Structures are given as C-alpha cells and as structure tokens.
Amino acid sequence: MTRIFVPQDMAALAVGANKVAAKIAAEAQARGLPIEIIRTGSRGMFFLEPLIEVETAQGRIGYGPVSVADVASLFDAGLLDGGAHALRIGKPEDHPFLAPQTRLTFARCGIIDPLSLADYEAHDGWKGLKRAIEVGPQAIVDQVTKSGLRGRGGAGFPTGIKWKTVADTQADRKYVVCNADEGDSGTFADRMIMEGDPLALIEGMTICGIGVGATKGYIYCRSEYPYAGKTFSEAVRIAREAGFLGPNILGSGYAFELELRMGAGAYVCGEETALLESLEGKRGIVRAKPPLPAHKGLFAKPTVINNVLSLVAVPTVLDRGAEFYAGFGFGRSRGTMPIQIAGNVRYGGLYEIAFGLTLGELVDTVGGGTKSGRPVRAVQCGGPLGAYFPRSLFDTPFDYEAFAARDGLIGHGGIVIFDDTVDMAQMARFAMEFCAIESCGKCTPCRIGSIRGVEVVDHVLAGVKPAENMALLEDLCNTMKFGSLCALGGFAPYPVMSAVRHFREDFTPRVLAAAE
Amino acid sequence: MPEASTWNAERTREIIAEYLGLEGPMLPILHALQEEFGFISSDAIPVIADALNLTRAEVHGVVTFYHDFRHEPCGHHLLQLCRGEACQSVGSEGLAETVLGKLGVGWHGTTADGEVTVEPVYCLGLCATSPSALIDGEPLGRLDAGKISEALEEACAP
C-alpha cells in the first residue's frame, strides 16, 4: 500500500486538488495498484499547488502543480516509486522555497493528516501542553513572557504581559478568545493552520487557559473560511473525545472547553473589541479602551484575546523553552514570523522565517519577482490598512519597529506584490472605499471621512482643483489617523498616504484621457 | 446550492430554541436561519427579539450590520468575486467588469432569469492563487473570464 498525500487546503481545492485526488484514485484502481490517499494541509508553496507527495523508500517525493490531465502520465512515469517526471520536485523539504525556512509554527502543516491524533503526537504534538501541566500557571506565563512572543495579529503587543494581566485579575470566570477573523488581503496563515494543523491551535489555547485560569475558549473564525471552520470543529470533537479538552484535561485537574463561532462578513470584527461585541451577539462596534479586554473583555470578564499565530507559537515555547524561541529574531521582534507572499508574484506562498530579512529579499529572492514578468512597482505590507512600499524602501528589515520607522506596518505578515501596471491612485481610492464599506460607524472620521476620501481622489483624477484636493486628502488622512478609535479608520490613511508620498505621479488629472 | 424554503414562524422558533443554551446566541441563530431559509426575513426579527429578550430595533441592527445576512433570497447560484488587493494585483477588477457585463448585472445584482447573484467578497485567503472566487461556496483560483463562465455553466447545468 503506497501512501499518496494530496492537500485539501482551500487554496489547493481552488486549483483542483479534489479532482486530482479523484483521478489518482481512479487511475490506481484501473491499474490495480494499491494506494491510500491521505488529505493534508498545504506546505505553503502555492505556486506548486496542487502539490502531491508520494511516500517512497527515499522519503516523500513531491510533484506539482498537478492537473487532472497529468495524472496518467505520472503513473506511466512510476509515480509510486518517485519516478522521474517533468513535475517532479524531489523532496519538498529540499525545495529552494522550503529549505531556508525555519518552520516552528508550521512544522507539521502539509505533512500530517490534520485530524489524526496519532500523526499529531508522532510529530511532537501535545508536548507543550504536557509540559505546561507539569510546570503550572505561573511558569507558563513566565515562559511566554521570556520568549519575547508578540501578538501576531498586527499590533505586536507582548503576549506574556497580556496573559499576566488576565492571570492577575480576579474573577469567577475568564475567557480565552482566538481571533481567527483573518480579513487582510494577502494573508492566509491562520486559514492554513486551521485547515492543516488545527490540533496545534487547540493545544495553544488550552495552555493559555491553564496559564491564566480560564476555563472557556472561543475561536472567532471568519465566514469566508468555511473549510477552516469545518476542520477545526472536527478537531475540537476529536481532542475532546481523547481527553485533551474537557473538565479534567489528561487527568491534571485543569478544565478547559472550546467552541467555534463563525463571523458574518464584517472586516472590522478582526479588531479585538469589535470581535468581542460580535461574539456577544451584538453589532461589531468597536469599544473604547480602557477598560482593556484583559480586565473586562467577553461578557465583561477578564479575557485573553490573541491571534491564531500567537497561540500556535505557544506549544513550541513551552516544549522547547523560551530561550530557544527567543534565539530567533531581530531587535525586539523575537521568534519566527510566517510571512505570506501573495498577489502578482512568481513564487507565492507561506515563508516562515526569523524576523530580519529585508523586504527586497522577500520580494525578489524568495518571491522571484512578479508572475507577469514585469518589474515590481509597489508592495503592500500588512493588509488593506498597510502602507505601499516602493523599491527604494526594499532595504527595510522585516521587523515591527523597522517598518513603523518607515511609516508602515508588518501587520499579520502579508505582502502583496504589484507590477508596473498598477494605478496607485486607484489603490488609494480603493483603500478609502474599503474603509467606507467596512467602517463600524462609531467614529465620524472613519465613517464619513472614508466616503469623502473616495470623492476627493475622484476630484483629483477628474482635474477638479487637483492641488487643493491633494492638500485636502492629506488633511483628511490626518483627521482619520488621529480621530478614530481603532485601526480601521486610524490605519486606512497608511495605504493612501504612502501612495501619495511614493507614487505622486499617479495622482494626475485624467480629464484628457477620459475625453478621448 | 440548496433551494431556500419559504419563511415560516414555527420552524424559526424551533431553530432559535436549539441555540438558546449558548452564550451570545445571536450570530449562530442568524446563520442557522439563513442556512434554512436562504435569507433573514423581516418577519423573523420580532420572533428573535422575543426569544432573546431584546428590542426589534436591536435585532434589526445586528441583521443589517453584517454583510453575510441577506434580506431577500439570492439567485439559484451565488458567485462571489474577490476584490481584495492580492486579487486586484492580477487583474480582478477588469475580470469582474467582464463577468458583470456578460451577466448583465451590477454588484449584488441577480440575472434576469433568477439564476445567478454576483457579490463582491473582500479576501478569501487564496491570495497566492488569485484571482479567486466562490461559486456556491466552492473555491476557485487562478481565474480568468473563461474559467468563470465554465464554472458557472457547470453549476447551472440541470
């Protein structure tokens, strides 16, 4: 029985992985070859998806991108023995995209069956949780603090300090909330984990629960990720049956229970206080802080709210120690960051590496430039609220502080590449349009300012008092930046102002062009 | 896509009852109602308000806040085209224009024969295999106008 691994990551499905899996099964049956197809997450090399792997005497051998039409020829070439074929990439871990990576958070993703407890355990699963139970709450929080782990959702707040605040707050009930409302364009790391290694997220949340004294956790997953939701709920059921969740985790006396909730298409619910409102069943309106969620969060109880990637990093910290994790990184950005390289890119995918690589290395060396083959003109970092970087800033190291110093943000680690056909005035207009669509409506500068922002860009492009309107746009951005409670209105000016600053030549009236 | 059933009060109450034990049951209830009926009828709002001890205004506020909840049924098939920046970097705006033009609808519009509704979506997390879309919830990547037409024909085939 030869084992063949076919991803069922949503991106692999989008490019035909199910049809390829069905064809492999049919072809093997027709040829009388005994095979077992295992569905995995993705390795994160999306340019090779669907990437199938075959277990051979020399290890797992990859082939990709495989289409249904390729399957017969793969069998002809001796697929089951790792035979030579134009699509053969050799061992995936030796591939130039994977080999230089440091996979801590994504160590198992794409390799294991996401819903197999045996696979998870065989690949170092539950070691962090077992260690956490051994050392107890105080040491858990200490380890996370010492590791230097910072919130991977975008704000970069030290995770250990957040946990300590919740641990130190007395209450009859506390919560752990996982923010899986990964709405930023160009990001897919949370989705990959929930589809490819969901038990790791369960482990991370359970450790957090023990550490801060919370007995209930919620995962708030965006509704655009139906596959992540399904796989994750199944993983929760499996973990509960095996005693990794419940009233007495592994006989330790600690209790922790998890529940998945699906969002409903509101980007602003990725903002932590809007998310809490939404979980409570209300409109996703941002709350003023203080009180901090750590003091008064979900249902006014002390709540840890962390991104998926922060929580999934925790089992490694506990298992291998804070020093090990903190040993990776750059400046005050410790550990590894799963960077997502997307958009018009030749080698798009997930690249987990210690902080510190420059933007240029990520775009040109790792990403291989644009898919269109045209020159890279702009790179948007950190989602729809992140700044556009021109080539002249490609020496910026991937690090929270270095990006902030250049009026940008790394956010959730997404990088979207644009070639020289991009119209940066339209991208600035879109940032305002997106903010108008997604604003929760609480703060006037965000709610009204974004609508006015679209109009102002339109006026500039229509040649209506362009100089005055450019000044107005800058003024408006300032008002939004300083007059909005949360990052939606506060950061929407980043893409707009970076487009204005670095690509001002695009903000010229188009009257003549329109008249032609 | 499953055919939406017509709204009925009794079934609505049954669905609500299933979720009343949850903390913050509002969103799970609304998702379940939309799953059952294909949209959230305005007639459902007082029923939910009554069950959750809220005002009708509060329930209406929630239903209208979230983009997912429909106030009327959509076409037999739902095409959601991604407008995120990663999709835009590989020409999704032009692609959307072509598809909308071909179907003769605008964003959120339904074709005259009631077959297809087209909605924008802001990122599906398929940003390295863009442009992306969902047809009746099935993900599609590396799209062009031809592939979308093909997929729509496949979805609409009897």
In tens, the pLDDT along A100-136 reads 999 999 999 999 999 999 999 999 999 999 999 999 9
Asked if pLDDT for residue B102 goes beyond 80, the answer is: yes
HEC string for A393-407: HCCCECCHHHHHHCC
Contact list, B119 vs chain A (CB under 8 Å): none
**Burial grade of A118 (CB within 10 A; 0-12, 13-18, 19 or more):** exposed
Structure ipTM: 0.96
Could you tell me which residues come within 8 angstroms of residue A441 by beta carbon, excluding any fewer than 6 positions away? A285, A447
Band (pLDDT 50/70/90 cuts) for residue B7 is confident
Contact list, A427 vs chain B (CB under 8 Å): 85, 88
pLDDT confidence of residue A510 = 83
pLDDT confidence of residue A512 = 56
Which of A15, A340, A384 comes nearest B129 by C-beta? A15
Cβ of A384 within 8 Å of Cβ of B84? The answer is yes
Total residue length of chain B: 158
Which of A283, A299, A418 comes nearest B61 by C-beta? A283
Band (pLDDT 50/70/90 cuts) for residue A515 is very low
State mean pLDDT over A273-289. Answer: 97
State mean pLDDT over B78-104. Answer: 97
A455, two tokens: 């109009």
Number of A to B CB contacts under 8 A, please give it: 150
DSSP H helices, B53-130, are: 56-65, 85-88, 92-103
Contact list, B89 vs chain A (CB under 8 Å): 343-344, 416-419, 422
d(CA B94, CA A246): 51
Cβ of A10 within 8 Å of Cβ of B139? The answer is yes
Q: How far is the alpha carbon of A159 from chain B, nearest alpha carbon, in Å?
A: 25
B70: helix, coil or strand?
coil
Which of B27, B52, B121 comes nearest A278 by C-beta? B27
Contact list, B84 vs chain A (CB under 8 Å): 185-186, 384
- In terms of CA atoms, which chain B residue is nearest residue A225? B124
Which tens digits make up the pLDDT trace of B71-90? Answer: 999 999 999 999 999 999 99
Which of A265, A348, A384 comes nearest B128 by C-beta? A348
Nearest of B87, B77, B92 to residue B151 by alpha carbon: B77
d(CA A315, CA A144): 10
State mean pLDDT over B20-25. Answer: 97
CB distance A496 to A424 below 8 Å:
no
d(CA B65, CA B69): 8
Contact list, A187 vs chain B (CB under 8 Å): 123, 125, 127
pLDDT confidence of residue B2 = 46
State mean pLDDT over A197-212. Answer: 98
Which tens digits make up the pLDDT trace of A355-382? Answer: 999 999 999 999 999 999 999 999 999 9
End-to-end CA distance of chain A: 67
Taking each continuous run of H as one helix and of E as one strand, the counts in chain A are: 22, 16
Angle at A262 between CA A260 and CA A266, to 5 degrees: 145
Contact list, B67 vs chain A (CB under 8 Å): 264-266
pLDDT confidence of residue A392 = 97
